[in-house]
Amino acid sequence: MASSMIDHLLYFAFFQGLFLLVIYGVSYSKRQVINGYVLVLVAILMLGLVAKIGLHSWGWQRQLKGISEFSILLFGPTVYLFVESTLSDKRFSKSVLLHYVPGVVYSLVVTFYYILPPQEVIQARVLSGELFRVVHILVGFGLTVNIIYFVFSVLKFKELKNSLQSEVSYVLNLGFVRNFLIAIGGCLLTWLTVYLISFGHRSQIEIISREFIWLAVALIMLFIAYYQMVAPGVFQLLPISNKVKYAQSQFSKDDLDKLKLELEQIMEQKKPYLNARLLKSDLAELLSINAPELSRLLNERIGMNFFDYVNYHRIHEFIRLAKSPTGAQKTLVGLAQDAGFNSKSTFNKSFKEIMGCPPSEYLKKQTVT
């Protein structure tokens, strides 16, 4: 029964992947905005699924099943490149092909050792135990490479998340990438568990546990298909920045003092913080400087980073709005949105950090006094 359910899930996942490839294959406009590594990953997952489906449905021979092994070392690098390109404006270049060199070498080994030799040679290797040992080495190598790339992906996610957060005035919604990495981690953990079981010479347990590898692969495919339906924007490439990267700021202390006054005037008069999607580069442009110079100004003359500085002004705008004659007619969340916040949790957290208490408590104290 369990095996039958997994088989049905594999079919469903395979056709979901096929549907995605067809959709983006037909639509030129969709191909222009989607992160291409998503399609590469879907194709790789389908390459792995097709052998499992072919074995159960059509009794495919080992030569065709061996082709599915090509996907093993293509998987990890694609996950890493997907994470990197999703959280940055880095685009495809010939240098990324170096990540696929181990996968190409692995595929050639599988081709010449397992796919091309005649059945008599394969049978002799099975009887001598050679095939079992070689497969263990190849699988162990593939698992190691994928785990290494997974670790790289997690580290890259943290690095780019921190880098992006310093450029925006709102909390980034990176739940998809985080959940994606959790799903990949679960798949690799399942694969590692099955690999370790195989050393115990418990063939039946190993055969049963291998089903969970296919289940994990199917779930990753369905995970991608689900997000494509409910939030297709998470697969779109970030717009490439055309802004010039400047050298280190050469402003003198007097220059910074003047810029500080200009910045305060801009914040009071133009109120750029009311833009819930305000970027550091946007505020720097109002000052006619670049983003690194704005960072230096904020750090050396104000003592805040961009995120905290903008939210500091939003909080004081919230307080002003709350005390206005029309303030009582709106909820706290509504006032926070009017002040530039796009997240209730960010508003509450920032307010408590800066004012020392929750907004409701602060306003209550102000009413009493």
Mean pLDDT of 287-294: 89
Residue 249 pLDDT > 60? no
The residue extents of the domains of the chain are 2-235, 253-368
The reported pTM is: 0.75
Q: Quote the crossing angle between the two packed helices 36-58 and 2-26, to the nearest 10°.
A: 140
pLDDT band (50, 70, 90) for residue 246: very low
Instruction: Find the length of the chain.
Output: 369
Distance (Å, rounded) from C-alpha 359 to C-alpha 369? 15
Q: Is 19 left (phi over 0), alpha (psi -120 to 50) or beta?
A: alpha
Residue 133 pLDDT > 90? no
Residue 14 pLDDT > 50? yes
* Token pair of 82 as six digits: 């997907």
CATH topology of domain 2-235: Rhopdopsin 7-helix transmembrane proteins (1.20.1070)
pLDDT band (50, 70, 90) for residue 243: very low
Instruction: Report the percent of the chain where pLDDT is more than 70.
Output: 83
Mean pLDDT of 206-225: 74
* Token pair of 242 as six digits: 């055309």
Residue-wise DSSP of 344-363: HHHHHHHHHHHHSS-HHHHH
Q: Write 194-201 long-range contacts (CB < 8 A, 24+).
A: 195/139, 195/140, 195/143, 198/136, 199/136
Pick from 83-97, 225-239, 250-264, 345-359: least confident: 225-239
Residue 244 pLDDT > 70? no
Q: Which residue has the higher pLDDT, 71 or 297?
A: 297
Same CATH fold assignment for domains 2-235 and 253-368 = no
> Which pLDDT does position 24 carry in this prediction?
77
Residue whose C-alpha is closest to residue 306's, from 339, 279, 329, 331: 279
* Environment class of 93 (CB within 10 Å of its CB; exposed 0-12, middle 13-18, buried 19+): exposed
* CATH number assigned to the domain with residue range 253-368, chosen from the 4 options 3.40.50.720, 3.30.565.10, 1.10.10.60, 3.40.47.10: 1.10.10.60
> Which pLDDT does position 63 carry in this prediction?
65
